[in-house]
């Protein structure tokens, strides 16, 4: 390899090694350590995850042989990424060299992100492998598995879980996501599922109530204190997030005392905005006014998402809360009102109701109307011509 005069390759070894690993260039990695002194962590954790994401088993094996970064294989992230992207060969190798510790299949639900990721991307071969290797009761997953699989159109994943005999865990997002993306076959699959229809209608005569508390919260089923007793803070956050997303105020009322225990309320507010759950926002404003902050910067993106979906009521409520909360709009609120993002998302989505509301409340229109018109003209929304009028 020819280098320019005075160029010290050992100085740039970290970035170069990262690039070589990401590109599956084992020969380059080997050449580098033979010719230059390299630090013990010459491949970064981020690059190692990219290696796993790309399925580059040769690079992972080379890193293990050199005894450099060996501890990184003990991180959950490497296994999660490999499972999510369907790289079964990497998972088998990790298990063979004891980097995939069977103790992790235990009650800490370490396995759930792997199953969720593989299921969401339709990698049923990975599901088969984990199911065969997990000890009794160790195959754990969350509602994300079927929700994301449905959104991505993977009927094969839905069929796999149905055949497995496992309890099906899902939320209304399973059907909503499939419908939004046009996965008709997935929607039909759910519509023919007796369990889905039973949960949706509340008629559980042929099926016992779901045991997953996130699923119960999403559909508004009553949850007892006894059921929730063993939940940690993270699982309470997930349960509340599902309730907020789907407008289940009864869950918030039941566990109101738990809301004061370090939960991320802003995340809950964002979930309610994206789910068009006006009743949830009203409940927070009344029952938890000290922590209802309509000016929080994180709400701005949720408002843009809501506007793009035509959720005029929640957009109205948040902006009214901002006006009533302070006599003068905060800096972030003024930025959003004068920013084209929310209006562009609304216009491209063809949501006349949101535009009418914006105009009726005399909110400012940004000066870049031409750019918005251009985006609407190029869009595929059925209501685009109404927006242009």
Helix spans in 7-66 (H) = 13-22, 26-35, 45-53, 57-65
Helix spans in 121-264 (H) = 124-133, 144-151, 155-164, 173-180, 184-191, 194-201, 213-219, 225-228, 233-245, 249-254
Taking only the tens place, the pLDDT of each residue in 293-313 is: 888 888 888 988 888 888 888
pLDDT at 308: 83
- Listed range (92-96, 146-150, 151-155, 324-328) with the worst mean pLDDT: 324-328
Separation between Cα atoms, residue 380 and residue 367, nearest integer Å: 24
Average pLDDT, rounded, for the chain: 78
**How many degrees, rounded to 5, is the angle at CA 234 between CA 254 and CA 119?**
110
pLDDT at 329: 37
pLDDT higher at 308 or 191: 191
**How many degrees, rounded to 5, is the angle at CA 140 between CA 136 and CA 142?**
160
State what percent of residues in the chain have pLDDT above 90: 32
User: Are 219 and 199 within 8 A, CB to CB?
Assistant: yes
Taking only the tens place, the pLDDT of each residue in 110-122 is: 678 899 999 999 9
pLDDT(179) > 70 = yes
Separation between Cα atoms, residue 298 and residue 64, nearest integer Å: 41
221 phi, psi to nearest 5 deg: -75, 150
Separation between Cα atoms, residue 104 and residue 95, nearest integer Å: 12
> Closest Cα partner for 164 from 140, 198, 183?
140
pLDDT at 71: 52
Separation between Cα atoms, residue 212 and residue 224, nearest integer Å: 12
Separation between Cα atoms, residue 238 and residue 104, nearest integer Å: 21
For CA atoms 263, 107, 49, 122, the dihedral sign is negative
pLDDT higher at 155 or 91: 155
Q: What pTM value is reported for the model?
A: 0.76
């Amino acid at each position: 390899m020819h280098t320019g005069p005075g160029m010290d390759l050992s100085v740039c070894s970290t970035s170069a090694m990262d690039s070589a690993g990401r590109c599956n260039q084992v020969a380059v990695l080997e050449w580098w350590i033979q010719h230059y002194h390299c630090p013990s962590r010459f491949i970064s954790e981020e690059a190692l995850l990219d290696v796993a994401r790309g399925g580059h088993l040769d690079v992972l094996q080379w890193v293990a042989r050199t005894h450099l970064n060996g501890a990184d294989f003990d991180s959950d992230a490497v296994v999660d990424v490999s499972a999510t992207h369907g790289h079964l060969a990497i998972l088998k190798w990790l298990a063979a060299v004891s980097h995939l510790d069977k103790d992790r299949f235990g009650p800490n639900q370490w396995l759930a992100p792997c199953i969720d990721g593989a299921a969401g991307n339709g990698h049923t071969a990975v599901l088969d492998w984990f199911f065969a290797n997990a000890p009794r009761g160790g195959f754990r997953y969350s509602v994300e598995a079927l929700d994301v699989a449905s959104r991505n159109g993977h009927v094969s994943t839905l069929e796999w879980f149905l055949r497995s005999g496992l309890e099906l865990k899902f939320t209304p997002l399973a059907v909503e996501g499939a419908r939004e993306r046009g996965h008709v076959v997935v929607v039909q699959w759910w519509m023919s599922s007796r369990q889905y229809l039973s949960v949706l209608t509340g008629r559980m005569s042929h099926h016992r109530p779901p045991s997953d508390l996130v699923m119960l919260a999403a559909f508004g089923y009553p949850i007892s204190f006894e059921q929730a007793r063993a939940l940690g803070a993270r699982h309470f956050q997930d349960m509340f997030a599902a309730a907020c997303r789907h407008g289940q105020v009864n869950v918030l009322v039941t566990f109101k005392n738990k809301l004061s225990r370090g939960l991320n309320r802003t995340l809950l507010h964002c979930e309610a905005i994206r789910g068009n759950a006006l009743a949830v926002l009203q409940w927070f404003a009344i029952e938890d006014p000290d922590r209802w902050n309509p000016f929080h910067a994180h709400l701005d993106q949720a408002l843009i998402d809501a506007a793009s979906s035509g959720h005029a009521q929640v957009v109205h409520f948040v902006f009214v809360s901002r006006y009533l909360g302070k006599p003068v709009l905060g800096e972030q609120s003024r930025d959003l009102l004068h920013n084209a993002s929310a209006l562009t998302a609304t216009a491209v989505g063809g949501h006349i109701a949101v535009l009418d509301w914006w105009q009726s409340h005399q909110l400012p229109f940004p000066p870049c109307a031409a750019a918005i018109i251009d985006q609407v003209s190029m869009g595929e929304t059925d209501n685009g011509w109404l927006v242009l009028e």
